[in-house]
Amino acid sequence: MSSAPLTPEQLSSFSPMDFLTPAYRQQLHASLKYLQRPAGTQLLQKGERALAQYYLLEGKVAVDAGPGRQTIEGGSPQAHLPLNPGQLNPNSIKAITDVRLFAVEHQLLERLLGWSQDAAYQVNSLGGDGMVEEHDEDDWLARLLSTPLFGRLPPSHLHALLARFEYLQARAGDSVVTYGEPGEHFYVIKHGRARISLPQAYREQPTQVLESGDFFGEEALVSGAVRSASVIMLEDGELARLHRDLFVELVRPSLIPRINSQDLQRMTHQGSRKHLLLDVRLAAEYRLAHLPESFNLPVANLRTHADSLDRATCYVVTPEGGIRSELAVHLLNQLGFDAYLLGDSSTEAA
What contacts 256, CB < 8 A, 6 or more positions away?
Answer: 326, 329, 330, 341
Average pLDDT over residues 11-33: 85
Give the residue range(s) of CATH 3.40.250.10 domains in the chain. Answer: 256-342
Q: How confident is the model at residue 213 (pLDDT cuts 50, 70, 90)?
A: confident
Give the residue range(s) of CATH 2.60.120.10 domains in the chain. Answer: 8-108, 132-254
Residues linked to residue 208 through DSSP beta bridges, in sequence order: 196
The model's pLDDT over 278-293, given as tens digits with 9 standing for 90+, comes to: 999 988 889 888 988 8
Whole-structure pTM value: 0.49
**DSSP-assigned letter for residue 182:** B
The CATH number given to 8-108 is 2.60.120.10
Looking at the chain, list the stretches that DSSP marks H as alpha helix, in order from N- to C-terminal side. 8-11, 22-30, 106-117, 139-145, 148-151, 155-164, 218-223, 244-250, 252-255, 261-270, 283-288, 323-334
Average pLDDT over residues 25-50: 89
What contacts 334, CB < 8 A, 6 or more positions away?
Answer: 147, 148, 149
Q: How confident is the model at residue 133 (pLDDT cuts 50, 70, 90)?
A: very low
The model's pLDDT over 219-268, given as tens digits with 9 standing for 90+, comes to: 777 766 678 789 999 999 999 998 888 887 877 766 678 888 887 777 66
Q: How confident is the model at residue 36 (pLDDT cuts 50, 70, 90)?
A: very high
Other beta carbons less than 10 A from residue 203's beta carbon: 9
Decide yes or no: CATH 3.40.50.300 for domain 132-254.
Answer: no
Average pLDDT over residues 204-212: 77
Would you say 118 and 191 are in contact if contact means Cβ atoms under 8 Å apart? Answer: no
Fold of 256-342: Oxidized Rhodanese; domain 1 (3.40.250)
Closest by CA to 161, choosing from 137, 138, 181, 145, is: 145
Average pLDDT over residues 107-132: 50
pLDDT for the residue numbered 119: 31
- CA distances 268 to 48, 89, 124, 219, Å, are 13, 17, 42, 31
pLDDT for the residue numbered 162: 76
